[in-house]
A = this chain, B = another copy of it.
Amino acid sequence: MILLEAKNIAQIWKNETKQELDSLKISGLREPHLAIIQVGDNPASSIYVKHKMKACAEVGIKTTNYNFSNISEPALIQLVESINYDPLVDGILVQLPLPAPILKRNIIKYINPLKDVDGFHPSNIGALATGHPTFIPATPLGVQFLLKKYNIDIQQKNVVVIGRSNIVGRPLFYLFSNPPNNNTVTLCHRYTKNLPEIASKADILMVAIGKPNFVTQDFVKEGAVVVDVGINRLQIADNQSKIVGDVDFEHVKSKCSAITPVPGGVGLMTVSALLSNTLLAFKRIHGI
């Protein structure tokens, strides 16, 4: 069984981005600039934003953090539009979740698709869905990078994705179904009947539903590759908790040919994926 640890791979990817940025800087270009918009005081969001800004600084991407305790939908749209037209900003990221009553899709559709480094704008989703990706959302992009670096064959397999969020499950479906991966993908969700039976047909099983230890041995075919995107905090005693995935790792690992750990797996890839997408936006805007 191969443990698909991400720490070194995420660092390698980050280094690749840094090297490319260094060489672009030598050629005389300004540094890329990412705008990060955060609304509300979700503590997890604040930690994510901090990680993203730190990683950007490490590779040479300038960031501006717009942080609002409270803002109306129209005012937020106005901000997004002003950044859209700012030639000195290459990427726009709206940290999710957005607090009610703001609807994320009301905001995301106003982001200039060329600056949409999260890949959530409908036209970027459409491009990915039809096999001509512009920006691939960070988590699916990170999963693909991780599996490839471990030389996992991710082409023409039977793949089952459990969970159909717009951030993970659905874009995983598009990315792994389309050329060049050409897998046969089944997208499962809360209404799927006989889920263990369907999942246990998968050569590659991907799970992103946010339910601790949901995937048990009977979901997994002998020799399958298991990708666990879940990150759940599980209370194990008074005042004591631990982070677990959606997969019952201890009981499943012996059946897998490869499995991502939680923590230390997919979650570590997403910031590197964001850096890569920001570099991509920068290069496109500069016609490189």
Partner of A170, one of B122, B130, B132, B191: B130
A177 on the interface (CB 8 Å rule)? yes
A63 on the interface (CB 8 Å rule)? no
CB pair A184–B156 under 8 Å, yes or no, is no
CB pair A193–B184 under 8 Å, yes or no, is yes
A112 on the interface (CB 8 Å rule)? no
25 contacts between A and B (CB under 8 A): A105-B130, A105-B132, A109-B123, A122-B124, A122-B126, A122-B130, A124-B126, A125-B130, A126-B126, A126-B127, A130-B170, A155-B191, A156-B191, A156-B193, A158-B198, A164-B177, A173-B187, A177-B189, A182-B189, A184-B188, A184-B189, A184-B192, A184-B193, A184-B198, A185-B187
The residues of B that contact A83 with a CB separation of less than 8 Å are none
A166 on the interface (CB 8 Å rule)? yes
Give me the interface of A with B, judged by CB distance under 8 Å: 105, 109, 121-127, 129-132, 155-156, 158, 164, 166, 170, 173-174, 177-178, 182-189, 191-193, 198
Give the shortest distance, in Å, between A105 (CB) and chain B (any CB).
Answer: 7
Known: A156-B191, A184-B188, A193-B156. A129 touches B126 (CB 8 A): yes
Partner of A126, one of B121, B131, B132, B158: B121
Give the shortest distance, in Å, between A133 (CB) and chain B (any CB).
Answer: 11
CB pair A174–B126 under 8 Å, yes or no, is no
**Supplied contacts A123-B126, A126-B127, 18 more A-B pairs, CB within 8 Å:** A105-B132, A122-B122, A122-B123, A123-B123, A129-B129, A155-B191, A156-B191, A156-B193, A158-B198, A164-B177, A173-B187, A177-B189, A182-B189, A182-B191, A183-B191, A184-B189, A184-B192, A184-B198
Q: How far is the CA of A173 from the CA of B193 in the complex (A)?
A: 18
CB pair A184–B187 under 8 Å, yes or no, is yes
The residues of B that contact A174 with a CB separation of less than 8 Å are 129
Give the shortest distance, in Å, between A93 (CB) and chain B (any CB).
Answer: 18
Give the shortest distance, in Å, between A226 (CB) and chain B (any CB).
Answer: 19
The residues of B that contact A198 with a CB separation of less than 8 Å are 158, 184
Q: How far is the CA of A25 from the CA of B132 in the complex (A)?
A: 42
The residues of B that contact A164 with a CB separation of less than 8 Å are 177-178
Give the shortest distance, in Å, between A254 (CB) and chain B (any CB).
Answer: 26
Q: How far is the CA of A48 from the CA of B34 in the complex (A)?
A: 48
Give the shortest distance, in Å, between A199 (CB) and chain B (any CB).
Answer: 11
CB pair A186–B186 under 8 Å, yes or no, is yes
Q: How far is the CA of A125 from the CA of B125 in the complex (A)?
A: 8
The residues of B that contact A125 with a CB separation of less than 8 Å are 122, 125-126, 129-130
Give the shortest distance, in Å, between A101 (CB) and chain B (any CB).
Answer: 17
Q: How far is the CA of A185 from the CA of B177 in the complex (A)?
A: 12
The residues of B that contact A129 with a CB separation of less than 8 Å are 125-126, 129, 170, 174
